[in-house]
Amino acid sequence: MTKGNVGIVIVSHSADVARGTADMVRQMVGDEVPLAWCGGDPDGGLGTSVESILGAIDQAWSEAGVAILVDLGGAETNSEMAIEMQPEERQSLIAICNAPIVEGAVIAATEASGGAPLAVVCGTAEELSPA
């Protein structure tokens, strides 16, 4: 039985950046990868929220795991909180990739579409980061 492909979550302080990155991933990789995005605060300004990240994780959930790509520190902190709020059996299946958000999301989704496991999906995306 297959677990499916690793899901990708894009978390940005800007809803436009998150949506645009997700659009780019879809155009380059197609629909083979569960994909969700969230960004901005409820008033339309810059920010992130744990609640929207939780929703995005649920939307992109895969038994193969979920890779989260973030743009700034607050997005990472809120993503970490969202992971901690997951059921224990899900926590080890979610990873934050330390990679540039746009390039990392595209590379992560490309790896995921080929059936790569979560560690490979994140590892390949993280290779894009400067040393």
Give the CATH number of domain 7-126.
3.40.50.510
How sure is the predictor about 2, in pLDDT bands with cuts at 50, 70 and 90?
low
Measured on CA atoms in the order 25, 26, 30, 31, is the torsion positive or negative?
Answer: positive
Confidence at residue 35, expressed as pLDDT on a 0 to 100 scale: 98
46 counts as catalytic: no
Confidence at residue 114, expressed as pLDDT on a 0 to 100 scale: 96
**Are the beta carbons of 11 and 34 closer than 8 angstroms?**
no
| Sequence-ordered alpha helix ranges (H) in 6-100 | 15-29, 50-60, 73-84, 88-91
Distance (Å, rounded) from C-alpha 54 to C-alpha 40? Answer: 14
How sure is the predictor about 131, in pLDDT bands with cuts at 50, 70 and 90?
low
Domain limits, the chain: 7-126
Q: 93: which DSSP letter?
A: T
What is the tens place of the pLDDT at every residue in 32-91?
999 999 999 888 899 999 999 999 999 999 999 999 999 998 999 999 999 999 999 999
**Are the beta carbons of 66 and 6 closer than 8 angstroms?**
yes
Q: Which of 5, 8, 13, 48 is catalytic?
A: 13
Max alpha carbon distance in the chain (Å)?
43
pLDDT of residue 1 exceeding 50: no
Number of helical H runs and strand E runs in the chain: 6, 4
Residue with tokens 């677990």: 3
Confidence at residue 113, expressed as pLDDT on a 0 to 100 scale: 97
**Are the beta carbons of 57 and 9 closer than 8 angstroms?**
yes
Q: Is 112 helix (H, G, I), strand (E, B) or coil?
A: helix
What is the tens place of the pLDDT at every residue in 11-44?
999 999 999 999 999 999 999 999 999 999 888 8
